[in-house]
Every structure is written in structure tokens, then in C-alpha cells.
Amino acid sequence: MSIELLNQKKGPEISKYIYGQFSEHLGHGIYGSLYVGKDSEIPNVNGMRSDVVDALKEIHVPVLRWPGGLFADTYHWRDGIGPKDTRKKIVNTNWGDITEDNSFGTHEYFELLRQLGADAYINANIGSGTVQEMAEWVEYMTMAGESPMSKLRQKNGRQDPWKLKFFGIGNESWGGGGNMRPEYYSDVYRQYQTFLPQYDKDHPIYKVACGPNQDDYNWTETVMKYAGKYLDGISLHYYTLPTGDWDHSKGDAVNFPEDQWVSTMTRAEHMDELITKHTTIMDHYDPDHKVDLIVDEWGTWYDVTKGTNPGFLQQQNTVRDALAAAITLNIFQKHADRIYMANIAQMVNVLQAMILTKGDQMIKTPTYYVFDMYQKHMDAELVEGIGEIPDNVTYTASQKDGKLTISLGNYDLANEKAIDFTASNPFRKIIDATILTGKEMNSHNTFTHPEEVVPQAFSGGSIQNGRLHVQLPTKSVVSITLE
Ligand code: AHR
């Protein structure tokens, strides 16, 4: 089978924010993993764990969504500022009813961003907060001149304002964020965004409205109709559950049968239909594409690792997750004209994580390596392809700085796949080719065997007469860069 890549046609830019991450006050998503505190024996810089930060810097995290998720709608930002010993201890009612000591707050979040080199994406509390509380938080973060909140920030040790790039108004307001109807939410959104102060006129804060739960097309329709002209992005949440069953077993993360491999891939592919249908509705209300679709929660969701707190959502990550990530990232790239940001849930220790930690140990997951391999697509131009692709194969291509990168996944468990690529400008040579695969469909990294699944050099690609031939092994993700 053969694909012709139209690399002389100008495609949309693939936003680097598609590779965004999400960290919530949930289990060990922040405490003990990203943030250990200055006094920890685990090496850290200003409390941020050095091994984890270093690993994340390698994948160039472009943006980090915080503080939730469901937690956001119970979060009162004033609890997380000022001297640590005076910070209020609260109960995290969403995630395990554990004590939250608020030692990681606004200042710590921006310090983490500084170390990662990532942009800010903060989700406001509209569920149990107030308009004033939200407005004052933004004033605290972004006001350069003299004001009550900028003075408070300075008293707490930060002279200059921070740069707040993205701001979410509502999280899952259709569910745990307030159980609102879309008509009501649209009005709440309009009210809150009215009082969102924009102090930095050169860099206005990008406003994200709460969008639909997976296929709730009525939500998208209603919010676009009533609030569409007041927002920059509307967010979609969609998780991949092998069984599709939220109430009983979602499926085991490691010991799963083949049919759950298949259902995971099918459900990951479903993202394409969701984006297509939601953006068709958006096209109707916003034909000039002023509003982006943001997928600020996505990823696989399994039963928690046995013996761990059910409220901590800790799960292993196998070759199956690598393929689910490749499928999803390819879909986002294909829809680069509307998808401006996506945030996988979640960055460390929660759901489909990049990194797992245990005490002072740390491992990189197969999903981490897919994000690593796909970095070349960040801010590159999408290259459209025409032709037929084999069953169970996913791919996208992009070009940047005169180089073309094709990323592919073969999620067939039994058969390797052959695929050829041609381009308007014939290929001359392969500059770099990498494969991520494992011996078994559930191969994964552990603290005792941290390198079971790591990228290797790929030798299954060859060029003849300007044509690229790729022989894709079963259950593999491959990335090839060419001139
Ligand atoms: O990512 C875990 C949770 O999933 C988030 O807190 C919530 O928004 C979603 O339901």
C-alpha cells in the first residue's frame, strides 16, 4: 500500500501545545513526585524533584494544566500562598479524602513551570469559588503595577507578575464541576469571563470554556451558540477505557486479554469521530475558526494498581499505552487546523503518566517515549497524505526546517505491515529512524527492570528511487525523519 505525501502543499501548523500535560492535586501526581519540598533528601531545586524535572525537560513539556480536574472546583488559591506553616490544611474530597497541606501553591507552580520551560494553564474554581476570588487570583498572578493583590504577591516574595497563557473557566461543569446544564453554564461562563482582568494588553489571557464530555454534542452546540463569541477555546474530555464501563472494572493495566488490546485501540481511534463531529458543530457557529478545540483531558484509564489507594488513580503503562498515545497524537495532528492544545492525563503517577515514581526511584513509561519520539512534530507543518493505509496502522507526517518526519503505529498483534511513501520532492535519505516496541503486548518498565521498553534504532525503512518503504513490526511505534 502506498501513500503520496503532498509536501508542496502548505498544511496547518501543528501546535506544540498538543503535547501538553496535566497535573492535579491527586494521589502522587504532585506531592512526592514533582514536588518534594526543599528539605527532602531527594535531590531537588527549590523543592522540585530534580530527576523528574530533568526527564520532563527532555520531552519539552510546552504547557502544564493545574490544579485540576475536579480538584480545581474545590481549590481556594489563598490557601496555597504565604509561609508554608500557616497554609490551611484541607481535605481533598475528590481524591481519597487525604489531607492537602497546600505546600504546593501558586508560587510553587510557577517555579515548576520555570524549571520545565513550560507555559501556564490554570483552571479556575467556578464550582465552589466566586467571581471575585477568580478575579483576585488573576490580579495576584498578572498585575504588574500597584494593586492590593500585586502587593500581596510581592509580600510573598515575588516582585514581577508571571505570564498566564491559558485560563480555564470551569472543569467538567456538566458533572463534578457543578452538574450544570449547558444553558446555565453558558451564562456562568459569560459572567466569569467578563471579570477576568487582562492586565497585559500585549499578551491577553487565552480563555478556555468547559466543553463536552465525549459525545455530548448538545453541550458543544449550546455553549457555542450562547457563549461562542466570548471564548478562545472550548475543551473536550475523553478517556479510553478498555471495557468502556465506568461503574465496574475498566480493565487491568497489565494483565489484560487480547480483546482488551483491540477495544483499547478502537476506543482510542474514536477520538477522530469525536473531534470531527464537535468541530462540525463549531464550524457552524464559528466559520472563521476563531475558536479552537482543546482536549484538556485524554488518555487511558484502567483499574488502579492492586494495593494502591483507589482514589490515587495509579496505573502501569505498557506497549498498549504507547500505541494508544500514537493513535491519539496522530489524530490531533491530523486535526491541527482546530486542535490548538491537548493535555494528557496526567503527567506523573496518575492515569496515563509519563513518569512513575516510588520513593526516590523513577521510571519513564512507554508513553513518555512516544512523546519523546513525536517532538519533531511540534510547531511543524502538517503534510497531508493521499492513498490507502493498511488496517490497524496509524500515521501522520509533518515538515520543519527542510526535513520531513513520518510517525506511524502498527497496532496489529499478529501481522507486520508494509507501507510505501512517495512525496512531491523525492526522498533522498533517512536521517533518523526510531522504533518503540516490546516483546509482549503488555511489556512495560518496572523499578527493577526500567528499560524493558525503550526506543531503539529502526532498520525497517529504506529508500529506493525516491520512494520510502517501511516494514512495520507488530505492536510498534516508529518515527522516521527524512530529507
Ligand atoms: O483526570 C482525573 C479526573 O478525570 C479529573 O479530575 C476530572 O476532570 C476527570 O473526570
* Contact between 409 and 392 (Cβ < 8 Å): no
* pLDDT beyond 90 at 97: yes
Categorize the per-residue pLDDT at 1 as very low, low, confident or very high, splitting at 50, 70 and 90. Answer: confident
Q: What is the pLDDT of residue 370?
A: 98
Using the mean position of ligand 1's atoms as its centre, give its distance from the Cα of residue 70 in Å: 6
Q: Contacts by 135-139 with C-beta closer than 8 Å and gap 24+?
A: 135/195, 135/196, 135/197, 137/77, 137/106, 138/164, 138/167, 138/196, 138/197, 138/205, 139/197, 139/199
Q: How confident is the model at residue 425 (pLDDT cuts 50, 70, 90)?
A: confident
User: Domain boundaries in the chain?
Assistant: 13-379, 385-482
How many angstroms separate the alpha carbon of residue 24 from the centre of ligand 1?
Answer: 9
Asked if the model's pLDDT at residue 21 lies above 90, the reply is yes
How many Å lie between the centroid of ligand 1 and the Cα of residue 422? 42
Percentage of the chain beyond pLDDT 90 is 98
CATH topology for the 385-482 domain? Immunoglobulin-like (2.60.40)
pLDDT at 76: 98
Whether the predicted pLDDT of 319 surpasses 90 = yes
For ligand 1, atom 4, the nearest C-alpha belongs to 69
Q: Nearest residue CA, atom 8 of ligand 1? A: 69
**Mean pLDDT computed over 185-202:** 97
The CA–CA distances, whole Å, from 272 to 27, 293, 303 equal 30, 13, 25
The string of pLDDT tens digits covering residues 149-192 is 999 999 999 999 999 999 999 999 999 999 999 999 999 999 99
**Cis preceding-peptide flag for 409 (omega within 30 of 0):** no
| Ligand 1 nearest-atom number relative to CA 313 | 2
In terms of DSSP H, where are the helices of 318-391? 319-334, 366-373
How much is the mean pLDDT over the chain? 97
Per the CB < 8 A criterion, the answer to whether 448 and 30 are in contact is no
Ligand 1 center–CA 281 separation, angstroms? 25
Q: How much is the pLDDT for 424? A: 86
- Model confidence band, residue 11 (pLDDT cutoffs 50, 70, 90): very high
pLDDT digits (tens, 9 = 90+) for 323-349: 999 999 999 999 999 999 999 999 999
The answer on pLDDT for 51 being more than 90 is yes
How far lies 421's CA from each of 147, 194, 418, in Å? 59, 50, 10
pLDDT given for residue 28 in this prediction: 98
CA–centroid distance, 213 to ligand 1, in Å, is 11
Q: Which three cell numbers stand for residue 415?
A: 501481522
Nine-digit cell string for 319: 506497549
Provide CB contacts within 8 A for 368, sequence distance 6+: 55, 59, 354, 355
| C-alpha–C-alpha distance, residues 211 and 106, integer Å | 25
Report percent pLDDT > 70 for the chain: 100
106 alpha carbon to ligand 1 midpoint, in Å? 20
What is the C-alpha end-to-end distance of the chain, expressed in Å?
22
Nearest residue (CA) to ligand 1, atom 3: 69
- E-only strand ranges, 34-151: 44-45, 48-49, 63-66, 90-92, 98-100, 119-124
d(CA 396, CA 385): 8
Is residue 359 packed enough to be buried (19+ CB in 10 Å), middle (13-18) or exposed (0-12)? exposed
When pLDDT is cut at 50, 70 and 90, the band that residue 197 belongs to is very high
For ligand 1, atom 6, name the residue with the nearest CA: 69
Cell of 363: 521510571
In 10 A of CB 159, how many CB atoms? 8
Closest ligand 1 atom to residue 239 Cα is 4
**What type of residue is 46?**
N
> Which of the listed residues 23, 28, 70, 123 should we mutate to test ligand 1's pocket, taking the one with most ligand atoms within 8 A of CB?
70
Residue owning the nearest CA to atom 1 of ligand 1: 345
Residue with cell 489524530: 331
Q: Are strands 44-45 and 48-49 parallel, antiparallel or unpaired?
A: antiparallel
- Can you give the pLDDT at residue 8? 87
Give the Å distances, CA to CA, from 122 to 64, 89, 243: 8, 21, 32
pLDDT digits (tens, 9 = 90+) for 256-311: 999 999 999 999 999 999 999 999 999 999 999 999 999 999 999 999 999 999 99
Question: Please, are residues 260 and 266 in contact by the beta-carbon 8 Å criterion?
Answer: no
| Residues framing ligand 1 (Cβ under 6 A) | 24, 68-70, 171-172, 297, 345-346, 351
pLDDT of 9 reads 86
Cβ-Cβ contacts under 8 Å for 394 (sequence gap 6 or more): 269, 326, 327, 330, 331, 408, 409, 411
* Distance, CA of 111 to CA of 116 (rounded, Å): 9
CB 299 within 8 Å of CB 354:
no
Which residue is associated with the grid cell 470551569? 170
Average pLDDT over residues 53-81: 98
Please give the pLDDT value at position 121.
Answer: 98
As a whole number of angstroms, the distance between CA 243 and CA 81 comes to: 42
Domain 13-379 has CATH 3.20.20.80: yes
Atom number in ligand 1 closest to CA 177: 8
- All three cell numbers of 353: 503518566
Tell me the C-alpha distance between 339 and 292, whole Å.
Answer: 6
Find all residues with CB under 8 Å of 332, minimum gap 6, and list them. Answer: 18, 271, 275, 295, 339, 342
Give me 405's grid cell: 518526519
DSSP states of 31-57: BTTTB--TT-SS-EETTEEHHHHHHHH
Let me know: does 151 contact 144? Beta carbons within 8 Å.
Answer: no
User: Would you name the residues annotated as active-site residues?
Assistant: 172, 297
**DSSP alpha helix (H) spans, 335-481:** 366-373
- Res 467 pLDDT > 90: yes
Q: Assign 79 to helix, strand or coil.
A: helix
